[in-house]
Amino acid sequence: MNLHLSGMIPPVVSPLTPDHRPDIGAVERLTAHVRDGGASALFVLGSCGEGPTLEPGVASEITRAYVDAVAGSVPVLAGVGETSTERALRAGQDFEQIGVDALVLMAPMYFNADTDSAVIRHVTALAERTSLPLVVYNIPHLTHHPITPRALREIAAIDSVVALKESSGEWDTYAALADVAGAAGLRVFQGAEALIARSLAAGAHGAVPGIANVVPGLAARLVQAGLDGDTTLAAALQAQLDDVCAVYSSGFWLTSLKAALAELGIVGSTAGQALAPPDADGLNEVHRVLVAAGLVEVTA
């Protein structure tokens, strides 16, 4: 597989119109925003992209819009987060036809089966039914199926598996999986913003930070400093990124993120109907964080 991922890969949000249809203009604006900020690839339909919850037709339209907006300038990775292998196969084949460059596979999310064997069977089935490179995505607090070092060791032997995205937010979990991935020759990416500098210092190849939707330039500079081995600069940039991540505390993290992007005029604030938008105090906090980061002006 000739896909050598590295650098800052934003897990882009899925822009929706108020009636929950794909907002193609917003996809184009966000693509330009993160590309100008230094994104080395785009990850669509992850947690930030509401991939596991969007209506399948909407997910496909948004994926196609990102592929069209990127126009081959950087790879597009599509998240496959489903309750079963059967649904994941359908989604993966659909995204391959659309023209994505890789699939990012979460563990199946519903039945509490034996975790290791379920994950191994799941990834093996996807590898047999697609020609695309595969990124293994560990996010156990959402899937409730952790990808263990034992499972990853078997999965890593599959030729099409090229990388690991680890988003547990727990250093010991990250370090154990990164060791296995590194020994197998996989690329390793940190998905938890607070651990980016530390992970890069320990040998990660990049990061997939949701806050890069808002501050792609800052996230890209942090990743590059880490890759360059400039730990002093990386620590300073990590502190700045942590300050912007305060936007997540404004309410439910995803709707807060979309509220920040809406205030910046990039995408609308519409998210899944079950997800509560920030209240007035939350919106004030979003504004405060953006002002402190120098992204918007102080309002009277």
Q: For residue 199, with 0-12 CB atoms within 10 Å meaning exposed, 13-18 middle and 19 or more buried, which class applies?
A: buried
Name the H helices within the chain: 24-36, 56-70, 85-98, 115-129, 140-143, 149-155, 171-183, 196-201, 216-227, 231-244, 253-263, 280-292
pLDDT at 140: 93
Q: Which band of pLDDT confidence, cut at 50, 70 and 90, is reported for residue 300?
A: low
pLDDT at 1: 57
Q: Which band of pLDDT confidence, cut at 50, 70 and 90, is reported for residue 31?
A: very high
Residues of the chain with pLDDT > 70, as a percent, come to 98
- Distance between CA atoms of residues 208 and 43, nearest Å: 8
Residues of the chain with pLDDT > 90, as a percent, come to 94
- Contact of 8 with 39, CB cutoff 8 Å: yes
**Could you report how far apart the first and last alpha carbons of the chain are, in Å?**
54
pLDDT at 40: 98
Q: Which band of pLDDT confidence, cut at 50, 70 and 90, is reported for residue 113?
A: low
Q: Which band of pLDDT confidence, cut at 50, 70 and 90, is reported for residue 82?
A: very high
pLDDT at 115: 81
pLDDT at 85: 95
Of 1-10, 38-47, 61-70, 84-93, the poorest mean pLDDT is in: 1-10
Radius of gyration of the chain (CA): 18
- Flag whether pLDDT at 120 surpasses 70: yes
pLDDT at 182: 96
Predicted model pTM: 0.96
pLDDT at 61: 98
Domain architecture of the chain: domains with CATH:
7-229 (3.20.20.70)
* pLDDT, tens digit (0-9, with 9 covering 90-100), for 222-269: 999 999 999 999 999 999 999 999 999 999 999 999 999 999 999 999
Annotated catalytic sites, by residue?
Answer: 137, 165
- Flag whether pLDDT at 214 surpasses 70: yes
Q: Which residues contact 95 (CB under 8 A, 6 or more apart)?
A: 60, 63, 78, 80, 103, 132
Average pLDDT of span 281-296: 96
Average pLDDT of span 45-58: 97
Average pLDDT of span 36-59: 97
pLDDT at 277: 95
Question: Phi/psi class of residue 84: alpha, beta or left (left: φ > 0; alpha: ψ in -120 to 50)?
Answer: beta
pLDDT at 23: 98
- Contact of 23 with 17, CB cutoff 8 Å: yes
* Binding site members: 208
* Binding site members for pyruvate: 208
